[in-house]
Structure 1
């Protein structure tokens, strides 16, 4: 039987996604968990594959891995989560024997922006990326012929601005280079025509946006995944949320203490 799992992970805890000797990677952790749980013995024999090899520092909510296994998908989720460290399976599906997770209908990435940026400016420049375009300025990999995004949407979400980008596939660093160009325009550092001409084939280096604000939200196919709620995963997510909340409170306390000290010193002078 061939099994597909949806997995989530914090990219900051790994040296990228692809297996590397003597480095902790997402694929390496997944295979270690599957071997420890006796789900697979050898990645070649089990035809282990990943949907997206996210860059170092990029996190995932819904990346997909697939492999051959004698266990049912629901059972695999439990075994995987019992052994994996920092990677969680939360949905599964039984798939055809020839299924390769890279052959997806759509991938959805979300980038989080902070600071004083105008949403309308980001939307204006985002619109020029739609349709068949020359994206050679937006990837470090060879790219032959036109490339098309399915959607690019910008909206404000509380204290952040989120940029949602969807396409059938992406090249290395593409979303981060797109966001870098959008931010440069919103800050008045490049003209809209510069972005347009880059998408017409005139090479321009807009830089590379930071990796941690980028999440791989989902990878979709022509079939549904079954959500499997395991208490262990929920307990670990809850503990991480508490840690993040405490760290945020600590940082806010530092800021408030500095501001209040400055205010007291100013009133005394």
Structure 2
């Protein structure tokens, strides 16, 4: 039987998603737990696959992994969450034998968060519209050999709330560092440091200028949408993840509020 799991994780606790020798990664911890419980013997034989290889520091609320197992009853969110740390299994789905969580995805949704520095939101939105549609994103990604740099961005929405700017990106797939580089470009636009004309030239490859990636800690893989996979969500696991995420980040919220009050008092 082939099983897919919807997972969340705190990316600041890992050296990225993909397995690496001698360091803690999301994929490595999941495989270790599956092997410990006898759910899989070997990741290659079980055809273990991940949907998105998020970078070090990037968190997720909706990444997906899939694998073959003869013990599906042990692969439940509650059992797995008892053995995992900094990772939460939110839901489970039985999927076809040929299901690959990366290539079966219809859309991926990322969110990037910024502290509002008094940005020009109209300028940010105008620049965001330039990225919509199909483009060669060579100047907005860290290119990998044999990877097609052409991608389609379906939606970019910008929301201002509680002193933060949230940028949501929806697309079929994204290149390495692509979302973080676009997010940084939009920030520079909103600060008047990057023009629409410069972005057009970069998208049309008339310029070899590159925008560096924004910090990974503010990026979240929010959701991956599948046309033919329906996850059965476990409410207990979701509440556990909410509670533990709140405990982790509430301290940062308090510190930010103290700092904001101090700035206002100057």
How does the TM-score come out when normalised to structure 2? 0.90
Q: Which moved more, 1:70-79 or 1:52-61?
A: 70-79
Q: Which of 124, 147, 150 is the aligned partner of 2:151?
A: 147
- Equivalent residue number for residue 250 of structure 2: 245
**2:170 is equivalent to residue 169 of structure 1:** no
Separation in 1, partners of 2:30, 2:3: 13
Change (3 A) 1:88 1:24: same
Residue 201 of structure 1 and its aligned partner are, at CA, apart by 1.3
Which digits, 9 at most, give the CA deviation of each residue in 1:176-200, with x for residues without a partner?
A: 0111111111111121100001111
The secondary structure found in structure 1 opposite 2:17 is coil
- Equivalent residue number for residue 132 of structure 1: 134
Which digits, 9 at most, give the CA deviation of each residue in 1:178-232, with x for residues without a partner?
A: 111111111111211000011111321111111011000011111321111235x
How does the TM-score come out when normalised to structure 1? 0.89
Residue 159 of structure 1 and its aligned partner are, at CA, apart by 2.0
**2:228 is equivalent to residue 226 of structure 1:** no
The secondary structure found in structure 2 opposite 1:212 is helix
- Equivalent residue number for residue 110 of structure 1: 111
Contact 1:108 1:167 in 2 (8 A): yes
**2:160 is equivalent to residue 156 of structure 1:** yes
Separation in 1, partners of 2:89, 2:245: 16
Change (3 A) 1:239 1:140: closer
- Equivalent residue number for residue 125 of structure 2: 123
Contact 1:107 1:218 in 2 (8 A): yes
Q: Which moved more, 1:40-49 or 1:74-83?
A: 74-83
Separation in 1, partners of 2:260, 2:159: 27
- Equivalent residue number for residue 181 of structure 1: 185
Separation in 2, partners of 1:72, 1:120: 50
- Equivalent residue number for residue 52 of structure 1: 52
The secondary structure found in structure 2 opposite 1:18 is coil
Structure 1, unaligned runs of 5 or more: 264-269
Matched positions, count: 260
The secondary structure found in structure 1 opposite 2:108 is strand
Which digits, 9 at most, give the CA deviation of each residue in 1:130-174, with x for residues without a partner?
A: 122121101111454632111111111322111111111111000
